[in-house]
A = this chain, B = another copy of it.
Amino acid sequence: MCRVLGCDDLASMRRLGWTLNLRSGQPLFHEGDPANRVFTVTRGALKLYKLLPDGRRQITGFMFPGDFLGIAVDDEHAFTAEAMADSQLCWFPRNRFSDFVDAHPNLERELYRIAAHELAAAQRQMVLLGRKTATERLASFFLGLLARVEKTEGPTRMIDLPMSRLDIADYLGLTKETVSRVLAALKSKRIIRLDALDRVEVLDRLALADQGEGNGAE
């Protein structure tokens, strides 16, 4: 029904997939759940997060159409996945997926490639969380989203934000209030414009890059 990975020679896999729809706010699975399926996002947007026992939350990533969701250790989900907007996914039973992977060495390699990319992204996020200021975090966040949009849709200055301020805060290791304040500051400096609450226009990408990449003195 739908494809799970981007590999061109995997079209045959489409026949094995089921479709699943999620309403905004609905969880796909929880941290600790047995990971007996693998997914590809086909529509919408999800957030992935981990919770501390007292409720503090860290969002470890956002998923958009085309993203693969199924890397797991010991067949157990390491995070919760929840729809931020009405979403559609394609899924396979994991054991069937494993069989399929066994039969297709290229797919194994593709899977590894995806994991390596996610690892590199996680390392960049560690730098952000450990060492960047609030302004730098927001700037990096927007540049990352922009790069992602432009990869599929070509050059643009508009970014859609399917996530709330709280989600952004929990992704960047800040509070929603700080996110609001930094957005206000970036607006007043004419670096961004808020077309709507959930839609940002990047007015000055160079200034944003300056702020985002830790070039020392502003």
Chain A residues close to B by CB (< 8 Å)? 50, 52-58, 60, 71-73, 78-79, 102, 105, 108-109, 111-113, 115-120, 122-127, 129-132, 170, 172-173, 213-217
Please determine whether B122 and A73 come into contact, CB atoms closer than 8 angstroms: no
How many protomers of this protein does the assembly include? 2
Residues of B within 8 Å of A126, CB to CB, are: 50, 58, 60, 122, 125-126, 129
Please determine whether A131 and B78 come into contact, CB atoms closer than 8 angstroms: no
Closest B residue by C-beta to A56: B131
Closest B residue by C-beta to A214: B52
11 intermolecular pairs with C-beta atoms under 8 Å apart: A52-B214, A55-B216, A58-B131, A73-B113, A73-B117, A73-B120, A105-B105, A111-B112, A112-B112, A129-B130, A130-B172
Residues of B within 8 Å of A119, CB to CB, are: 71, 115, 118-119, 122
Residues of B within 8 Å of A172, CB to CB, are: 130
- Chain A to chain B: the 5 pairs with minimum beta-carbon distance, closest first: A52-B214, A54-B216, A130-B173, A122-B122, A129-B129
Please determine whether A58 and B116 come into contact, CB atoms closer than 8 angstroms: no
User: Besides the contacts A52-B213, A122-B123, A125-B126, what 17 more A-B pairs have beta carbons closer than 8 Å?
Assistant: A50-B126, A54-B214, A58-B127, A71-B115, A71-B119, A72-B116, A73-B116, A105-B105, A108-B108, A111-B112, A115-B116, A118-B119, A126-B126, A129-B173, A130-B170, A130-B172, A131-B173
Scoring A102, A127, A213 by chain B CB atoms within 10 A of each residue's CB, the highest score goes to A127
Residues of B within 8 Å of A116, CB to CB, are: 71-73, 115
Closest B residue by C-beta to A117: B73
Closest B residue by C-beta to A110: B112
Cα distance, A52 to B127, chains bound together (Å): 8
Please determine whether A216 and B173 come into contact, CB atoms closer than 8 angstroms: no
Closest B residue by C-beta to A50: B127
Residues of B within 8 Å of A117, CB to CB, are: 73
Partner of A213, one of B53, B73, B130: B53
Cα distance, A67 to B164, chains bound together (Å): 39
Cα distance, A112 to B98, chains bound together (Å): 13
Cα distance, A52 to B78, chains bound together (Å): 29
